[in-house]
Amino acid sequence: MKILHQIAEYLYLKKKDTKKPVTQWMKYMHGINRLSILLFLAAMFYILVKLILSKS
């Protein structure tokens, strides 16, 4: 469940824990993780649409 909590924080679905230390490198890492999650979701959406349209 901790993984789902972290993903929710990356996608701004849940408020971040203010007690955790934040460094510049952590900001870069979270930004890259956020980008990779969004690209993955976009690719899955594209594949799903392509499958639905090809069956028509």
Domains in the chain, number: 1
Which of the four pLDDT bands, split at 50, 70 and 90, describes residue 50?
Answer: very high
Question: Range of 9's domain?
Answer: 2-54
> What's the predicted TM-score (pTM) here?
0.63
Instruction: Work out the pLDDT band at 17, boundaries 50, 70, 90.
Output: low
pLDDT at site 5: 79
Mean pLDDT within 7-25: 75
HEC-encoded secondary structure of the chain: CHHHHHHHHHCCCCCCCCCCCCCHHHHHHHHHHHHHHHHHHHHHHHHHHHHHHHCC
Structure confidence by residue, pLDDT tens digits, 19-47? 777 789 888 988 898 899 889 999 999 99
